Structure 1
Amino acid sequence: MNEELRRLYEADQADRTGDGLPSDLRERDRARRQRVTELLDAGAAETGEDHHHAAMVLQHGEDLADYLRAHELALRSADLGYRRGRWLAAAAYDRWLMHQGRPQKYGTQYRGTADGYELYEVDPATTDEERAEWNVPPLAEARRRAADMQARWPIRQPAVTPAASLKVGDLELGVFVFAARTQPPPKMPDPTPFEDGDPVPAWLPPGLTPVRQAQGFGAVDEAGELRVAWHRPAAPMLLGWREEDGPPPQPEAVELRGSTGIACRSALDGWEVLLVGRRDGQRWMVAGRCSREDLVRVAESLP
């Protein structure tokens, strides 16, 4: 067993135990993922346990590539005889699907809502027999766990009180202000083409092509400029605003065709964020540099 991979795994788990998460968890996770990637590239993972340790760190990543690699590493862990790799392979695959706005397959992923926790949408075609093959409990047990989580553990609120917030029904949007970065933000991966099963709106503004992004989906114009973006939001949804850009934008309730909504427009770049709760229970965040009517049409045409 590789001792450094074990230590990175144990640090990852230690940061997620106790009463609260470290304020610099994102930075810690990034540093661990970078080191795990270096070790993997150097061939450090040999045993099933090594692959499991690496997979666990990567599945706490920030983009689809992290989740997919975690899934592949966990599969290799299981192939090498490490039993815990089977559940992690299923969980990483579910997370990969969830962050594309698609139903999860096995039922391992939960999400926070304005009222507590819930089991993220599950593909009804998956059977409990399939779950058992991957050491995943039956769906009824996952639903019981969601109810228990909601009853016992309150949602952890952000350490910084939002500078502006609004709640409409079960939708909630907050804007928090942060200081200017001392370092440039990390480069985001380039958009990639859509794949089968991705949530493509039935309607997009003319001339736009749908693409995948690191944290969701969007549509670009002929010059490759992102014009519209969409994803399934967390609850409550939080928007960041740089302190040097002046007073933060104020969210407002909006009337939509058959849906509830909260809008927040930036006067700086013309982008508007629209948080939509549809009649079918789906929540979507749609944003873009276009009219509100166009954003509503995109949201309502999503699957």
Structure 2
Amino acid sequence: MIKENETILTEFILVGLSADPRLQFVLFPLFLCIYVVTVLVNASVIFVYKFSPSLHTPMYFYLANFSFLEICYVSSTVPKMLANLLADRKTISFYGCAVQMYWFLLLGGTECYMLAAMAYDRYHAICHPLSYAVFMNNRVCTQLILGSWLVGAVNSLVHTLLTFKLKFCCNKINHFFCDIPPLLKLACMDTRVNEMVVFIVSGCVIVGSFILTMTSYKQIISTILKIRSRCGRKKAISTCTSHFMVVTLFYGSGIFMYFRPKSSYSMDQDRIIAVMYSVIAPMLNPFIYSLRNGEMKTAVKKLTRKLASTEEL
């Protein structure tokens, strides 16, 4: 029977966030609103950057790319989750599940190193302001962005290939999207190699980028403490606080999810953590960056006035 199930498995059932039909009709409008707000706010950041020459600096170049990444990231899981909340059969095809996992892990890995690149940018802006334009030129910024995508793609490919080479005894995924921990739970063969690869490869991606980020911040904090002017110190801190908040939220939840043995996986707990870093964080990040950023708010006001005057004509 197990061998038969292994050969005919063509789809998975996604349990979702809740099996209660009444709760599902509450969750649908809630997550639909979150998704729409996430896409609109992140798209607005890209729009403001595109049409505001004053923001054409490395810092806002990274913010615009980060917003594009967040739109893709939330779109890799939420639309399917919304469709399944209203569907009678909450299924995803075998290959559809593989594609979803690949894109989710690709975008997550890319975000790790994009956050590290953003920390590197702040390091040069605060620690080496006179040579900032030389170090963070357009070529370097583009290379760091492309490098982040390359790392994410390789990391995702490794995990997706290894996971979908497993034989599954069951097709019921106790989650709202295809991720490594819930799929390892379904395997009817030894998954120690997969767990070891997750620990090593994800360690290189998550912990490696986290160390790079914290190294930049160590230098930043050291430089800030040497600033004698209280106003200058406050301004330097304000440019880094938002980024540090995003880093803490993303890395904290990511490390909790992927650096545990399979025996300690708790799907009910993991679903809540997954919602935090895959749905809530992409919505909060542009608010954290934009609402705390004076230059961004000024650019929004100027662009709004410009659009209003154009409409009057």
TM-score class, shorter-chain normalisation, is under 0.3
| Greater fraction of residues in helix | 2
TM-score normalized by the length of structure 1: 0.23
> Larger relative CO (CA 8 A, sep 6+): 1 or 2?
2
